[in-house]
């Protein structure tokens, strides 16, 4: 009987678990992880930069202020950088709504650049694929920028040029709701994929050398972007529908098509398991979230007090309405499934830190060496892990640059 690759890997992990050399294997995996150029393709940490009193250079605790990435924890976890998201919630597709989104996005881009400018010995903006290795070799965090929800561009895809000049090198057309560019995976079908304006957006991104990101997009949008794009595309934070049947996850056939065209799926740590809806808990969660809105008008002390109370309320909510929580084992099921499907040249990490990501056993960025340890036990080599941890995303960025419109 021929064993599947997954079965072989599972047997290997079981054997290692019984082996006396397991502690040494873990130490070796830790040392290997530190050598890797580890990049995450979806970091929502910039959403915290405007929070009064929150300092990226200070070590924070997720159980106290919900945040998962800061400079000290990134260093401890071996995160060398990644794509820092300019995220804007979907506003009404009206002139007023689109203008508000645009302005908020420019402010977020400015906050990212101000973070880098304030700490030039700790962070550096990156624009080309080759910048990552140079910046990391100097001991600095690699800061690429991405757009999550290109509704910020209004009805003018050429506005992407301004964001490109600020450093944006990846952009996804939609978020949780449909917009003027196309259909979301989590909204009712409106356009049947990309709108006419969305097809102009694809061309504009290609012309600039900006990676097209299909996370949050509908299956139809994925199919059409894959077909229209002159360069490989990416799913910057998505997981596997075969493991958990959620529309935000990608089905096997599309993962294979993505890989066949040179793209990569970067594994999200959200939508890993199905959690039954609890209306009472959802209502309470909304009330807690509402308290965290508009912190910008508070003093640092006031904002800190509001956030800590929200964290305490969340703990109480977990006790009152306990809900299933995904674990590192669940996350690894998605990762190993994708690796079995298309191999380590087309899979990576985009865990959605500070945007809803994180699981039991992987609460913040300090825990990511555990992923490397699991993959070392599964038999993946250092070269394969380097592709997984950043090389694949950098390849896609390089291909996008090569496909740009030459001046």
Query: For 332-343, how does the pLDDT look when each residue is reduced to its tens digit (9 = 90+)?
Result: 999 999 999 999
The answer as to whether 307 is a domain residue is: no
> Phi first, then psi: what are they for 7, rounded to 5°?
-65, -40
The answer as to whether 298 is a domain residue is: no
The answer as to whether 308 is a domain residue is: no
Angle between helices 369-377 and 5-18 (to 10 degrees): 100
| CA 373/CA 368 separation, integer angstroms | 9
Domain CATH code at residue 119? 3.20.20.140
What is the pLDDT tens value at each position of the chain, 407 positions in all? 333 444 333 344 333 333 334 344 444 899 999 999 999 999 999 999 999 999 999 999 999 999 999 999 999 999 999 999 999 999 999 999 999 999 999 999 999 999 999 999 999 999 999 999 999 999 999 999 999 999 999 999 999 999 999 999 999 999 999 999 999 999 999 999 999 999 999 999 999 999 999 999 999 999 999 999 999 999 999 999 999 999 999 999 999 999 999 999 999 999 999 999 899 999 999 999 998 988 988 999 999 999 999 999 999 999 999 999 999 999 999 999 999 999 999 999 999 999 999 999 999 999 999 999 999 999 999 999 999 999 999 999 999 999 998 76
DSSP-derived secondary structure letter, 128 = S
DSSP-derived secondary structure letter, 388 = I
Residue 124 bridge partners (DSSP): 142
Query: ∠ CA(97), CA(98), CA(101), 5° rounding?
Result: 90
Render pLDDT for 278-321 as a digit per residue (tens, 0 to 9). 999 999 999 999 989 889 889 999 999 999 999 999 999 999 99
The answer as to whether 254 is a domain residue is: yes
What single string gives the DSSP state of each residue in 262-275?
T-EEEE-SSSSS--
Say if residues 39 and 365 touch (Cβ distance below 8 Å): no
> What sign for the dihedral angle of Cα 312, 87, 354, 302?
negative
The answer as to whether 199 is a domain residue is: yes
Number of domains in the chain: 1
Q: What is the bridge-based pairing of β-strands 168-172 and 141-148?
A: parallel
Predicted pLDDT of residue 251? 98
Range of the domain at 41: 5-275+324-402
CA distance readout (Å), 274 to 243, 271, 326, 358: 10, 7, 9, 15
The answer as to whether 284 is a domain residue is: no
The answer as to whether 138 is a domain residue is: yes
Joined tokens for residue 236 = 């910057």
The answer as to whether 396 is a domain residue is: yes
Q: Which residue has the tokens 């508000």?
A: 100
């Amino acid at each position: 009987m021929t064993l599947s690759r997954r079965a072989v890997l599972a047997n290997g992990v079981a054997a290692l678990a019984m082996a006396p050399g397991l502690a040494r294997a873990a130490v070796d995996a830790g040392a290997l992880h530190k050598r890797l150029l580890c990049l995450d393709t979806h970091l929502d940490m910039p959403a915290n930069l405007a929070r009064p009193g929150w300092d990226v250079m200070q070590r924070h605790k997720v159980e106290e202020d919900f945040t998962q990435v800061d400079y000290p924890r990134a260093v401890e976890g071996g995160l060398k950088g990644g794509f820092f998201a300019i995220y804007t919630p979907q506003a009404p597709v009206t002139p007023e709504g689109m203008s508000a989104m645009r302005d908020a996005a420019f402010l977020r881009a400015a906050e990212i650049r101000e973070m880098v400018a304030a700490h030039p010995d700790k962070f550096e903006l990156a624009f080309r694929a080759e910048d990552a290795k140079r910046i990391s070799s100097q001991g600095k965090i690699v800061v690429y920028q991405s757009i999550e929800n290109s509704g910020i561009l209004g009805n003018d895809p050429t506005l992407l040029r301004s964001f490109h000049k600020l450093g944006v090198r990846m952009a996804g057309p939609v978020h949780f709701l449909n917009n003027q560019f196309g259909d979301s995976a989590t909204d009712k079908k409106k356009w049947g994929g990309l709108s006419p304006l969305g097809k102009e957006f694809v061309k504009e991104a290609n012309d600039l050398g900006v990676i097209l990101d299909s996370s949050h997009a509908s299956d139809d949008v994925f199919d059409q972007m894959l077909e229209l794009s002159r360069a490989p595309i990416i799913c910057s934070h998505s997981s596997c529908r075969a493991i958990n049947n959620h529309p935000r996850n990608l089905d096997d056939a599309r993962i294979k098509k993505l890989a066949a065209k040179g793209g990569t799926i970067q594994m999200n740590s959200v939508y890993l398991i199905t959690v039954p809806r609890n209306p009472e808990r959802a209502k309470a969660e909304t009330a807690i979230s509402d308290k965290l809105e508009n912190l910008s008008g508070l003093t640092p002390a006031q904002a800190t007090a509001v956030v800590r109370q929200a964290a305490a309320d969340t703990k109480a909510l977990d006790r009152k309405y306990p809900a299933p929580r995904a674990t590192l084992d669940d996350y690894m099921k998605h990762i190993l499934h994708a690796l079995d499907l298309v191999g380590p040249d087309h899979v990576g990490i985009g865990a959605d830190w500070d945007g809803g990501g994180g699981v039991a056993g992987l609460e913040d960025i300090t825990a990511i060496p555990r992923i490397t340890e699991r993959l070392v036990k599964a038999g993946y080599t250092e070269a394969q892990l380097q592709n997984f941890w950043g090389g694949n995303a950098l390849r896609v960025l390089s291909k996008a640059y090569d496909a740009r419109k030459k001046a």
